[in-house]
Amino acid sequence: MKEYLEKKRKLIDMELERYLPGKAAYPRVVHEAMRDSVLSGGKRIRPILAMESAKICGGNRKDALRLACAIEFIHSYSLVHDDLPSMDDASMRRGRPSCHAKYGEAIAILAGDALLTLAFNVLSGIKDEKRMKRVVFELSKAIGTFGMIGGQVVDLEIKDKRPLNLPMLEYINLHKTASLIAASAKTGAVIAGAGEEKIKALESYGEYTGLAFQIVDDILDRDGYVGIFGINGAKEEAARLIEHAKGILAVFGKRAETLKRLSDFVLKRRK
């Protein structure tokens, strides 16, 4: 799986480089900040999910790669904004200074805005207009106030109200983290022209995988679920969610083996 992920990551990074403005393009500072935020590492789990979901539904590789890049731009924008002093106030990201720490808060806000805008510019290049419109609808819904942004708002509202209760924690995890992961798998199926049964199956698979992803984060950070269930309880819940996610993929038969292995990687991953 490590070799597969590395191969996919390199492919996606090459395509991201193609879509990003050149570092010397004017106005230079915002383009440098965008490039630094996107190309500073990351496992590319979300875009890989989109590509693999498209693949098992018989999708076009070129369109899937375009979708993958748009999703990574969205994810990168969310990280830039999450790190801001008014949000999580994180000065480091992946072992390097976060965007606002390096370029200043104003440029970080604008770089995040630009990455989100670029994502939809990239999506506009999908030639099948019907599929393109559905992808735009699904992604914008997943990252809006009823999705990722909504989860971030609630997370901010309860920031100093610890410990969390389980329903609130699950709301935050479902919206802030799992929403985009689920949308990545779902839009992969959409862009491939899959039927509704397969689209819904992949969305559900992505949602359970996304919830497990956040619990693993909590285990690594000693936060969230760990505070409620303890380390062992959190590990058991993450494993249960992954097994459920893998079970949903039965409709795809042997074609889903890579997605199953990807879910196992999510369960066993390290920062």
* C-beta separation of 188 from 54 below 8 A: yes
2-268: CATH, from 3.30.870.10, 3.40.50.150, 2.40.110.10, 1.10.600.10: 1.10.600.10
Q: Is the dihedral of CA 251, 257, 231, 84 positive or negative?
A: negative
Backbone angles phi, psi at 168, to 5 degrees: -70, -40
Taking 70 as the threshold, does the pLDDT of residue 162 lie above it? no
Taking 80 as the threshold, does the pLDDT of residue 271 lie above it? no
pLDDT of residue 94: 83
pTM above 0.85, yes or no: yes
Segment 254-267, tens digit of pLDDT? 999 999 999 999 99
Segment 52-104, tens digit of pLDDT? 999 999 999 999 999 999 999 999 999 999 999 999 999 998 889 999 999 99
Segment 195-251, tens digit of pLDDT? 999 999 999 999 999 999 999 999 998 888 998 999 999 999 999 999 999 999 999
For helices 257-268 and 225-248, what crossing angle results, to 10°?
170
The residues, any chain, with a CB within 8 Å of residue 187's CB and separated by 6 or more, are 50, 53, 67, 71, 134, 135, 138, 139
To the nearest whole number, what is the mean pLDDT of the chain?
95
Q: How many Å apart are CA 258 and CA 14, to the nearest integer?
A: 22
Give the count of beta carbons closer than 10 Å to the beta carbon of residue 55: 17
pLDDT of residue 164: 77
Segment 132-148, tens digit of pLDDT? 999 999 999 999 999 99
Q: How many Å apart are CA 221 and CA 231, to the nearest integer?
A: 11
